[in-house]
Amino acid sequence: MADLDRLRRLLGGEETAWLLDRLRRRMVTGKPLSGIVTLGSATQDQRRAIERLLGRRAGTGSSLSVSLDEVDAVLRRSGSAPDGLADATRLLIGTVPDRATEAAAWAAAYLPLDKLVARRPALVTWRGWLDATGLVRRLASDPGSASALITAAVRVLAELPSEGIALGRLAAETTGDAHGLDDGRPLATIVLSAARVLRGTPPAGDGTAGERRTSWAAVGVHRDELSSSVLCLGLPGGGETVTGRILALAKETGEPCVLTLRQLSLADLGAGGEIVSVCENPIVLASAADELGPRCPPLVCVSGQPSAAVWRLLDLLIADGARFRYHGDFDWGGIRIGNTLRGRVAWQPWRFDATTYTAATATGGELTGRPVEATWDTGLRAAMELRGLRIEEELMLPALMDDLRALADSVGSH
């Protein structure tokens, strides 16, 4: 007779869950419960749990190797599982399915993902990447856990892209846990990989905090109301709100202004139906401040992929009746940013078309990366592929400054 309480203490804890999962997988695939299994990057708690199970030290180093034959002998000898490892595994996790049943359970777990991709073809490459990397299976050891993880991910992705929401609020509203999308959580790993694809970048990311913040922002999610900001110049502002007064003072002095998402929760911008020029890089805005100062017409910088604060400012300007023109880098990343903006803002090209690209004499080097269509100019991709050169926004500064100067003169003459 097995001693179930003792068995749970020895093998049923969180720190030995990895070992129990290895046993289940072997049983599903018909492999013998013998030989050595190894856990890479084991924690101290996992190592101590194995030491308690075996009654001896479990070696040193980052990995942890366990002899299944030794575990079987310990369980039999201690009386916690006299019939050995296979019986112990069934006692702790229930009936172990056969290979066909297991495969059917995994297929059912993935079904919500397939339905999501059918509705949103932009996620096709993400779905293929999940299969190729086995990410879901690494994050969820069994079909039941995978089903719960996938269902939660689909629920979160149904809310994205957002017009602007805090990460904690998104997590609370979709999962019931305000920390459900914190860094390192399995759900955050899955959803963030999809957000990168929606942003137009590889699903794996580069592992940096800045990249994660940018990827969340690309789908309208911000970490908090202060870390998300937008750079602008020449917005008239007004006297009804603190933000309006900040903008009015910055306009009067010709200085750039950095606004946080919090400051944009209530703001009078004073732009009305004016033309708002939008650029990709801060150098354009800095040059405009140097050359035009207080005369500079409204200018907004997206600083790469738009943050939640950028989206909020643009939405406020749209509500005011503003009209937009946009310029970015002539490279594939710049085209993707333009496409992203085009999905929410009806802007006109500002020297950002095939004609301008072809006529430009300055070049910044070889054009690299994955080509993409420009949704505002069907001839731009072909022109860029033919010429094979990138042209950064900085190289267009003289022409852009002339345009801003001409716009300021035309506004001043009325």
| pLDDT higher than 70, residue 2 | yes
Helix 332-342 × helix 380-387 angle, to 10°: 170
Shortest CA distance to 9 belongs to which of 114, 80, 64?
A: 80
Q: Among 224-233, 238-247, 288-297, which stretch is predicted with the lowest mean pLDDT?
A: 224-233
Q: How many other CB atoms are there within 10 angstroms of residue 170's CB atom?
A: 23
What average pLDDT does this structure show over 29-45?
86
**Residue pLDDT, tens place only, 316-331:** 999 999 999 999 999 9
Shortest CA distance to 355 belongs to which of 330, 323, 338, 325?
A: 330
3-state class (DSSP) for residue 292: coil
Q: What pLDDT does 384 receive?
A: 96
Q: What pLDDT does 414 receive?
A: 54
Q: How many other CB atoms are there within 10 angstroms of residue 47's CB atom?
A: 19
**Confidence at 389, pLDDT banded by 50, 70, 90:** very high
Return d(Cα 395, Cα 52) in angstroms, integer. Answer: 66
pLDDT, mean over the chain: 90
Return d(Cα 88, Cα 373) in angstroms, integer. Answer: 58
Shortest CA distance to 228 belongs to which of 253, 258, 257?
A: 258
What average pLDDT does this structure show over 134-155?
89
**Confidence at 386, pLDDT banded by 50, 70, 90:** very high
Q: What pLDDT does 104 receive?
A: 79
Return d(Cα 34, Cα 22) in angstroms, integer. Answer: 11
Q: Which residue has the higher pLDDT, 188 or 261?
A: 188
Return d(Cα 396, Cα 378) in angstroms, integer. Answer: 21
Q: What pLDDT does 253 receive?
A: 96
**Residue pLDDT, tens place only, 90-132:** 888 777 666 667 777 878 999 999 999 999 999 999 999 999 9
Q: What pLDDT does 331 receive?
A: 96
CB 84 within 8 A of CB 159: no
Segments making up each domain of the chain, as ranges: 4-93, 99-222, 229-412
3-state class (DSSP) for residue 222: strand
CB 170 within 8 A of CB 159: yes
Q: Which residues contact 253 (CB under 8 A, 6 or more apart)?
A: 293, 294
Q: What pLDDT does 413 receive?
A: 57
What average pLDDT does this structure show over 33-43?
88
Helix 124-133 × helix 186-199 angle, to 10°: 140
Q: What pLDDT does 172 receive?
A: 93
Exposed e or buried b per residue across 177-204, where buried means at least 16 C-beta atoms within 10 angstroms of its C-beta: eeebbeeebbbbbbbbbbbbbbbbbebe
- The CA distances from residue 268 to 17, 46, 277, 317, in Å, are 56, 57, 18, 10
Q: Which two tokens stand for residue 303?
A: 């600083």
Return d(Cα 240, Cα 220) in angstroms, integer. Answer: 27
- Whole-number percent of the chain with pLDDT over 90: 54
Return d(Cα 60, Cα 86) in angstroms, integer. Answer: 28
The hierarchical CATH code for the domain 229-412 is 3.40.1360
- The CA distances from residue 58 to 19, 22, 70, 148, in Å, are 14, 18, 12, 34
Q: What pLDDT does 330 receive?
A: 97
Q: What pLDDT does 339 receive?
A: 93
CA angle 368, 372, 376 (to 5 degrees): 125
Which residue stretches of 200-295 are H helix? 209-218, 242-253, 282-291
**Residue pLDDT, tens place only, 196-232:** 998 888 999 887 877 888 888 888 888 767 778 899 9
